[in-house]
Chains A and B, each alone.
Chain A
Amino acid sequence: MSEIEAAIRENHPALITYITAGDPSLEDTREYVEALDRGGADLIELGLPFSEPIAEGPTIQAAINRALDAGTTPQGFFELVDDLETEAPLLVMTYYNMILQYGPEADVRPFVERAAEAGLSGIIVPDLPAEEADPLRAACDDHGLDLVFIVAPTTEGERLETIMSQVSGFAYVQARLGTTGARADVSNATHDSLARLSAYDVPKAVGFGVSEGDHAAEIIEAGADGVIVGSALVDIIAEHGEGDAPAADALEAKAEELKRGARRGGGVDVPEPEQP
């Protein structure tokens, strides 16, 4: 079992968090990652910013712009990861061109080697469908990294079958069509997708639109093993400025809320924290 799969199974129901590295600076990202780790995140995705994030909604697009404006580079990103020490395994989420360009030629291997060396446990690439993934999959296999695939509401039939038969780490269940972004409710598509996937014995985590503890509870109750939260956390970062300690506190509190929600959905009795 990979580190990622273990992190989900052993901390069931799991909380997976996403923030963009370098938003608003790599120094801040370090604080935020540690805060999320303390708050109960079981897996932490770090976005390596790419200039054309076609799968992202306005919130994460803005985060990526802030990170790029701050001069975030793949080198800086890996140096940050080099000395992060977290309980939760770390994944990198980035677009395929960033992976291809890391080495001197258009080749995925140097990136994967560096990711493994930095201690990352997996990679998620929103613009790399399974059909194009052979080179990256081979490199990840060689270095013991998971290559996590997304299952969309439109993924059906034979494609669903094959993607589910080769899940690496967990199945990233996209809760709804469209781009990332915090939403006020849990979509019907989430329930449909989880019902469709219930026969497969692989860890399933639901992302795209999850923003509150109550969503987490509902999603876990519907059969997911984990929830993935990004935009709601990025919103917190955006509200605070650079070098702002309260941002880390707010992220930690949000992670706690989400984790509590997830556990409630999983039937674990969790007392609400005492009101101050």
Chain B
Amino acid sequence: MSKPERNRDRDSEATFGEYGGQYVPEALMPAVQELEDAYERYVLENEDGFMDEFRERMRDFGGRPTPLQRADRLSDRYDREIYLKREDLLHGGAHKLNNALGQVLLAKYMGKERIIAETGAGQHGTATAMAAAHLDMPCEIYMGRTDINRQRPNVYRMRMNGAEVNPVTAGSGTLKEAINETMRDWATTVERTHYVIGSIVGPHPFPKLVRDFQSVIGRESREQIREKAGRLPDSVLACAGGGSNTMGTFYEFVPDESVDLVAVEAGGSSLEIDEANALAPNSATLSTGTDGVLHGAMTKLLQSGDGQIMESHSVSAGLDYAGVGPELSYLVDTGRVTPVSVGDDAALNGFHRLSNLEGIIPALETSHALGYLERAAGPAADGRAAKPRDENHEDLGDLVVVNVSGRGDKDLETVLEETEKRDLEAAPDVEVFDR
């Protein structure tokens, strides 16, 4: 029996090994294929100067390139060269604009008239709302109730930029439910609407499209580190939720075999799962997930033995997701990317440490990467002696790049609350928080 024609080239492009694909309702298939076509023409072939316009807008509106900064005090602490890729300085305060502006502009080139997006931390929603205002497109954002409550400043920002924010009450009210609801909207309005997906997830071509828009992070970092340190880094660290800042940072380094790529996931409060209630108190999909299909792609997932998707957890809304980009699943299986996970406490310490030592308040998502840096390279309590190396990853080497995917202003309320509950070594004196 023949099947709807998918030529060989395209087939191989839709997947990363076993991962990826286009598991979407029939009603969305034509739109997904239309997007494939637009991706090939405008992004890969720069038709009508699309990529030129995108880069120019990312410079003038977005503030690219972002700096690669030597972190002096962290370098001292860890006794090696630590460089920070400052995506927190991108307009909007996170790497998310790279993708959001790219996709809203692409939607314009495709003749779409309306933008929808999901958001977890609110950073992608904020970036999409900014891009839609900038490019004069009507925009609606779906956001889980729990996330609305823990990321309020971002909700205000979206509204200020003229976007509608639609609360999603289903399930635990986080990113997974927001994606479900955005897909339902898209299945209804697909003819005029473009869905700006917020990470390297979803059906092909989204994982590649988003990666390509984000890969500027790694492209710049690679050039900048060679200029500043005269060589490629030994390792590159990025936090991973869906994995867009992660793949964006790693992509240009993938062929550089001497460079270790470390994806830092949210370990939440524990890596143990509660199978009976389909609850995972973490979002460590790459480290602990199993293969399945969610939101249009085959990838690693947090799921029960029956195939029900688990409710994930992380102190960081932007990492709180039971899936992950198919390309990262693939690169983990091939051994090119090493997944590690860092729990809520270590991430909060990472947050305070960077704020305190470097004068940079990082996003809670980013703080996971900083938590891992401490675990792998931090001094033991008694001073200089190096801690035992992390068992998953022997050595970060002498030259390390960490992607600071975003700034932490959005997280201040959460950090205050979570810090008061704990005894964190890196937190400032709690007295500070007494009103």
Nearest neighbor of A106 in chain B, beta-carbon distance: B291
Most-contacted residue by chain A among B27, B278, B294 (CB, 10 A)? B27
Grouping DSSP codes into helix (H, G, I), strand (E, B) and loop, the B interface class, with mixed when no group exceeds half, is: mixed
Q: In the complex, which of the residues B26, B183, B290 contacts A150, with contact meaning CB atoms closer than 8 Å?
A: B26
A159 touches B4 (CB 8 A): yes
A74 touches B306 (CB 8 A): yes
User: A242 an interface residue at 8 Å Cβ cutoff?
Assistant: no
Q: In the complex, which of the residues A133, A158, A177 contacts B5, with contact meaning CB atoms closer than 8 Å?
A: A158
Nearest neighbor of A178 in chain B, beta-carbon distance: B188
B26 touches A129 (CB 8 A): yes
- Chain A interface bracket (under 10, 10 to 19, 20 to 34, 35 or more): 35 or more
Q: A101-B307, A150-B25 are in contact. Are A177 and B190 (CB under 8 A)?
A: yes
Q: A106-B292, A162-B3 are in contact. Are A152 and B26 (CB under 8 A)?
A: yes
User: B416 an interface residue at 8 Å Cβ cutoff?
Assistant: no
User: A166 an interface residue at 8 Å Cβ cutoff?
Assistant: yes
State how many angstroms separate the Cβ of A177 from the closest Cβ of chain B: 5
Q: A97-B292, A149-B26 are in contact. Are A50 and B4 (CB under 8 A)?
A: no
A129 touches B308 (CB 8 A): no
B27 touches A54 (CB 8 A): no
A134 to B6, CA, bound (A): 12
Nearest neighbor of A174 in chain B, beta-carbon distance: B27
A159 touches B309 (CB 8 A): no
State how many angstroms separate the Cβ of A2 from the closest Cβ of chain B: 14
Within 8 A of B (CB), among A111-158: 126-134, 137, 149-156, 158
B285-298 interface bits toward A, Cβ cutoff 8 Å, 1 = contact, 0 = none: 00000111111101
B180 touches A52 (CB 8 A): yes
What chain A residues lie within 8 Å of B298 (beta carbons)?
A: 106
B307 touches A179 (CB 8 A): no
B1-45 interface bits toward A, Cβ cutoff 8 Å, 1 = contact, 0 = none: 111111000000000000001111111111100000000000000
A133 touches B170 (CB 8 A): no
Within 8 A of B (CB), among A78-130: 95-98, 100-102, 106, 126-130
A137 to B278, CA, bound (A): 30
Q: A54-B183, A74-B306, A127-B293 are in contact. Are A151 and B26 (CB under 8 A)?
A: yes
B414-428 interface bits toward A, Cβ cutoff 8 Å, 1 = contact, 0 = none: 000000000000000
What chain A residues lie within 8 Å of B305 (beta carbons)?
A: 101
What chain B residues lie within 8 Å of A159 (beta carbons)?
A: 4, 29-30
B82-111 interface bits toward A, Cβ cutoff 8 Å, 1 = contact, 0 = none: 000000000000000000000000000000
User: B126 an interface residue at 8 Å Cβ cutoff?
Assistant: no
Q: In the complex, which of the residues A54, A73, A97 contacts B303, with contact meaning CB atoms closer than 8 Å?
A: A97
B261-304 interface bits toward A, Cβ cutoff 8 Å, 1 = contact, 0 = none: 00000000000000000100000000000111111101001010
Q: 15 A-B Cβ contacts within 8 A?
A: A50-B308, A73-B306, A95-B293, A101-B307, A106-B298, A127-B24, A129-B24, A129-B29, A131-B4, A131-B22, A152-B26, A154-B28, A154-B191, A165-B2, A177-B190
The 7 closest A-B pairs by CB, nearest first: A101-B307, A178-B188, A152-B27, A162-B4, A51-B308, A106-B291, A150-B26
Which residues of chain A have a CB within 8 Å of any CB of chain B?
50-55, 57, 61, 68, 73-74, 95-98, 100-102, 106, 126-134, 137, 149-156, 158-159, 162-163, 165-166, 174, 177-179
- Extra inter-chain contacts (9) besides given A52-B294, A54-B25, A150-B26, CB under 8 Å: A51-B309, A54-B180, A129-B26, A131-B3, A131-B22, A152-B25, A158-B5, A162-B4, A174-B26
Which residues of chain B have a CB within 8 Å of any CB of chain A?
1-6, 21-31, 170-171, 176, 180, 183-184, 187-191, 278, 290-296, 298, 301, 303, 305-309
